Amino acid sequence: MMSDLVPKPKPRPAPESLPYWQAAREHRLALPKCEDCQKFWFPPSRTCPHCLSTKFSFENVSGKGKIFSFVTFHRVYRPAFANDVPYVVALIELDEGPRLLSNIMGVTHDQVKCEMRVEVVFDDYDEDISIPKFKLV
Amino acid sequence: MINAITPSRELRDTCAIVGTATSKLGKVPGVSSLDLLMDAIRNALDDAGLKASDIDGVLCRGPDESYSHHQLLAERLGINARFSTTLTNGGASQIMSVALAVMAIRFGLANTIVCGFGRDTWSRTHASEEARVRNETRPESMLAREFGPEYGYFGATAAHAFGATRHMHLYGTTRDDFGEIAVAFREHALRNPDASMKKPLSIEDYHAGRLIVAPFGIYDCSLRSDAAGAVIVTSAARAKDLKKPPVMIKGFGFQNNTRGWFADDNMVVTAAKQAGEAAYAMAGLGPKDVDTAQIYDCFTYMVLTQLEDYGFCKKGEGGAFVSSGALRLGGALPCNTSGGQLSEAHCEGMLQIVEGVRQLRHLYPENRQVKDADIALISGHGGNQVCHSTLILGRA
């Protein structure tokens, strides 16, 4: 099929997010955590947005959270997603606080609801990149 | 915590909008955004009975790729301007430019300032097959690097749809409520000969429309338009003996929820809340004083949540409020009476200002006029969904 020939966009890690993607490749979800205030944040940056400390490291999170909100794409914005519509993009609120966008695997769009519990799974894009996605628990 | 600051009440009623106009709206092939804006400005000068040489200030929002857009505009106007700059606050820029004009005039930096915005979005993205293809096949290098495109997340429709889903979840808001907004504004557009959309829209048509990014279908989304609008601001003293009745600038306020659209409760309690509170405080008015609202309607849901945030109904009751018919001409709060960005044309909030001014002049035919309109509230929204501006205008 046409869309099988068009690859989906491959993440292009920024310098500050490289450790996130390195962890994902090892199927770990790791976010920057402040060594001063002990809070996580996302997306990765070199300054803690909670206290402006620059002392941090990437630490594993539980990978568990809930669906804060979601949308269902019916329109094909790029040919690579032509075979996927209708597909869900969800805003996941991790138990550690940060929110991030992802897909919900293994369900149809009409089964998804706000507040559903989810946990991370990893979708291997190629030998360099694995993409964190989520499934219902 | 920093306390909310009320813009100085001393600025209330110091300046007026004395001229306003638009370009041709909708599909205007072969005309650049700058020339569309020039059309609107020429028409606004004529509306005010002023000449280009009367203008000594230019405040506009340019397309993002244009450097010193205000200079290009003033060059076309054939003037040197004392106070001139380009604003970049997305759809909140247009009201911000009017507020900045008031401050500049009050403090003697300029006498008469033109504020405007023009765009050629339809021509750039839809006018030809080539434009369509160019728009739909942007190279991957132009996408966000990460945390979105890999999940198939693209565009402003999806961003706002996240808010709609959350609001529906928290408050039981339905697509029927969103549909009433689309239907009401279309009904207003049918009374406006300049509006892009000419066909009636029923709630059945709304539900039959194809889904784009659910919960939004095609009729929840604003138009892609070629459009420009302009207003001319001067001091209340100078405004008295011009061609048309002046419309007083009574209040304005701003809020930027720059922690992000996905942070906190920003998707369901928008920056309209604090921007509105500041504007009401400056004007010495409240939601009960507002006769007509011209709300930034990039998507139906954004109207509903802003009406709540502005205090026209309680948070969570927006669905019932709009479905009561309140937004229709003749209703409790006639809203987007020219058809709005959903059915007139999308000019990133500029046409909401134009329509607010026109309603307060009482020069419309009876079927378009909000009866006895004395106070209009206008909103601007944009800048990654979190930048907001509020303008309150009053009949002189």
For A25-80, the DSSP string reads: HTT--EEEEETTT--B-SS--SS-TTT----EEEEE---EEEEEEEEEE-S-SSGG
Overall average pLDDT of the B7-19 stretch = 92
The whole-angstrom distance between B258's CA and the closest CA on chain A is 12
The answer to whether residue B173 scores a pLDDT higher than 90 is yes
Would you call A75 and B262 a contact, using CB atoms and an 8 Å cutoff?
no
Would you call B151 and A17 a contact, using CB atoms and an 8 Å cutoff?
no
Which residue on chain A is closest to B217 by alpha carbon?
A: A74
pLDDT value of residue B65: 62
Would you call A78 and B152 a contact, using CB atoms and an 8 Å cutoff?
yes
Question: Which of A10, A69, A84 is closest, CB to CB, to B152?
Answer: A84
Question: Which of A14, A69, A115 is closest, CB to CB, to B146?
Answer: A14
Query: Does residue B238 fall inside a structural domain?
Result: yes
The position carrying tokens 């060594």 is: A35
Which letter does DSSP use for residue B5 in this model?
P
Query: Does residue B201 fall inside a structural domain?
Result: no
In tens, the pLDDT along B102-112 reads 999 999 999 99
The answer to whether residue B137 scores a pLDDT higher than 60 is yes
Cα B202 from Cα B207, distance rounded (Å): 9
Question: Which of B140, B163, B262 is closest, CB to CB, to A9?
Answer: B140
Would you call B150 and A73 a contact, using CB atoms and an 8 Å cutoff?
no
The first and second tokens of residue A14, run together, are 């920024």
In tens, the pLDDT along B296-345 reads 999 999 999 999 999 999 999 999 999 999 999 999 999 999 999 999 99
Share of chain B above pLDDT 70, in %: 97
In CATH, what number is assigned to the domain containing residue B294? Answer: 3.40.47.10
Cα A21 from Cα A25, distance rounded (Å): 6
Residue-number span of the structural domain to which B237 is assigned: 9-123+223-395
Greater confidence (B155 vs B360) lies with B360
The answer to whether residue A123 scores a pLDDT higher than 80 is yes
Cα A111 from Cα A128, distance rounded (Å): 32
Which residue on chain A is closest to B213 by alpha carbon?
A: A73
Model confidence at A1, pLDDT cuts 50, 70, 90, reads very low
Interface of B with A (CB under 8 A): 136, 140, 143, 145-155, 157-158, 161-163, 165-166, 169, 210-215, 262-263, 267
Question: Which of A10, A68, A113 is closest, CB to CB, to B150?
Answer: A10
Would you call A74 and B145 a contact, using CB atoms and an 8 Å cutoff?
no
The answer to whether residue B115 scores a pLDDT higher than 60 is yes
The answer to whether residue B130 scores a pLDDT higher than 60 is yes
pLDDT value of residue B68: 86
Question: Which of B145, B151, B157 is closest, CB to CB, to A14?
Answer: B145
pLDDT value of residue B140: 80
Query: Does residue B164 fall inside a structural domain?
Result: no
The whole-angstrom distance between B179's CA and the closest CA on chain A is 18
The answer to whether residue B67 scores a pLDDT higher than 80 is no
pLDDT value of residue B5: 63
The answer to whether residue B276 scores a pLDDT higher than 70 is yes
Question: Mean pLDDT of all residues in chain B?
Answer: 95
The first and second tokens of residue B114, run together, are 């033109």
Cβ count within 10 A of residue A60: 13
The whole-angstrom distance between A36's CA and the closest CA on chain B is 21
Would you call A86 and B214 a contact, using CB atoms and an 8 Å cutoff?
yes
The whole-angstrom distance between A103's CA and the closest CA on chain B is 6
Which residue on chain B is closest to A14 by alpha carbon?
A: B145
The first and second tokens of residue B139, run together, are 């190279």
Closest CA to B24 of B228, B207, B216: B228
Count of domains for chain B:
1
pLDDT value of residue B1: 43
Q: Which residues of B touch A91 (CB under 8 A)?
A: 162, 262
The whole-angstrom distance between A79's CA and the closest CA on chain B is 9
Counting Cα atoms < 13 Å in the Cβ hemisphere of B125 gives 13
pLDDT value of residue A2: 45
The answer to whether residue B66 scores a pLDDT higher than 90 is no
Residue B358 phi, psi dihedral angles, 5° rounding = -60, -40
Mark residue B92 as left, alpha or beta (left: phi above 0; alpha: psi -120 to 50; beta: remaining). Answer: alpha
Interface of A with B (CB under 8 A): 8-14, 17, 21, 43, 68-75, 77-78, 81, 84, 86-87, 89, 91, 99-103, 109, 113-115, 125, 131, 133
Query: Does residue B250 fall inside a structural domain?
Result: yes
Helix, coil or strand: residue B350 = helix
Greater confidence (A27 vs B136) lies with A27
Would you call A69 and B267 a contact, using CB atoms and an 8 Å cutoff?
yes
Q: Which residues of A touch B145 (CB under 8 A)?
A: 11-14
Relative to beta strand A87-94, strand A99-102 is: antiparallel
Model confidence at B132, pLDDT cuts 50, 70, 90, reads confident
Would you call B150 and A131 a contact, using CB atoms and an 8 Å cutoff?
yes
Query: Does residue B142 fall inside a structural domain?
Result: no
Query: Which of A113-117, B63-67, B201-205, B221-225 is predicted with the least confidence, judged by mean pLDDT?
Result: B63-67
Torsion of CA A94, A98, A101, A106, to 10 degrees: -10
Question: Which residue type does B94 have?
Answer: Q
Which residue on chain B is closest to A67 by alpha carbon?
A: B166
Could you check whether the bond before residue B365 is cis, i.e. omega within 30 degrees of 0? no
CA B266 from chain center: how many Å? Answer: 19
Cβ count within 10 A of residue B141: 7
Contact between residue A135 and residue A106 where contact means Cβ atoms under 8 Å apart: yes
pLDDT value of residue B3: 53
Query: Does residue B262 fall inside a structural domain?
Result: yes
The first and second tokens of residue B268, run together, are 């369901």
In tens, the pLDDT along B147-156 reads 999 999 999 9
Overall average pLDDT of the B131-136 stretch = 75
Would you call A74 and B155 a contact, using CB atoms and an 8 Å cutoff?
no
Cα A80 from Cα A82, distance rounded (Å): 6
